[in-house]
Amino acid sequence: MIIFITGGASGLGEAITRKIASGNAHKVYFTYCNSESNAKKIELDFPNAFSLKCDFRDENEVKAMTEKIAEFNIDVLVNNAYSGKFIDTYFHKSNPNAFEDEFKINIVPTIKITQAAINFFRKKKYGKIVTILTSALLNTPPVGASVYVASKAYLEQLTKVWATENIKFNITSNSISPSLMLTQLTGGMDERVIEQIVENHPLKKLLTPDEAAESVAFLINSGQQINGLNIVLNAGTNLK
């Protein structure tokens, strides 16, 4: 299959790209913004992986990516790219414009790229969309993460719309919701907070990007009967 991964050169995105590209079963296109050196290393390690620069803040670059969807004849879109802070400040201290900026920078580009993918998938009557969300953070958001979790909650509902509207065209939309991982996104967290999270974790360890990438690979290789599924990766800590 031909896989298109947004934000696939660092953190979880890099783990996903490397997992999918391993074994040479798939052709992988992945975008990067500030991780060009990582992107080039991935290309050297995997001859079936190809990087493209795309800054979600640049409308022209996003538009160029939407035009690549049909050109690459993709089978799967993985929405992973995110630009912004995980932890910022209390909601009541947040600049209201931060929520608007978050929507413009992260949600709108994801919408545009996914629309292009769906339009192409409908023509070929096949396609898969896998979107990276976040799990327990939506149920019990950490202090200072209101902007981040709000955007992820919005995206979570969109994944359901994509699933219901497009399954008749043999197009699926699924997602994974990883719990806290140590990546560049969470690099600003207080070490004492991380230690407390680990201590309270039933496995006494945090989820790794490689483990999350395994779930993405599962959804990419699954049949079309799996649709509208959100795989929560948190060791069952919020079972109801």
Q: Is the pLDDT of residue 240 over 70?
A: no
Q: Ramachandran region of residue 63, left (φ > 0), alpha (ψ -120 to 50) or beta? A: alpha
To the nearest whole number, what is the mean pLDDT of the chain? Answer: 86
pLDDT tens figures, 12-47: 999 999 999 998 889 999 999 988 999 999 999 999
Model pLDDT, residue 46: 97
The percentage of residues in the chain with a pLDDT greater than 70, rounded to a whole number, is 82
pLDDT tens figures, 184-211: 555 555 566 556 666 666 676 778 889 9
Centroid of chain to Cα 63: 19
Mean pLDDT, rounded, for 116-140: 86
The percentage of residues in the chain with a pLDDT greater than 90, rounded to a whole number, is 59
- Which residue matches tokens 């050297």? 44
Q: Is the pLDDT of residue 183 over 60?
A: no
pLDDT tens figures, 145-155: 777 788 788 89
Model pLDDT, residue 146: 72
Highest CATH level, class, for 2-233: alpha beta
pLDDT tens figures, 47-99: 999 999 999 999 999 999 999 999 999 999 999 988 766 666 767 878 888 78
* Local confidence band at 213 (pLDDT 50, 70, 90 cut-offs): very high
Nearest-angstrom CA–CA distance, 154 and 159: 9
CB atoms within 10 A of CB 14: 24
Could you tell me the residue ranges of all domains in the chain? 2-233
Paired with 28 in beta bridges are 3, 49
Mean pLDDT, rounded, for 166-191: 78
Amino acid at 45: D
Model pLDDT, residue 79: 97
- Name 60's Cβ contacts closer than 8 Å, sequence gap at least 6: none
pTM: 0.88
Our CA angle for 240, 232, 19, nearest 5°, is 165
Higher pLDDT, 86 or 104: 104
Model pLDDT, residue 37: 92
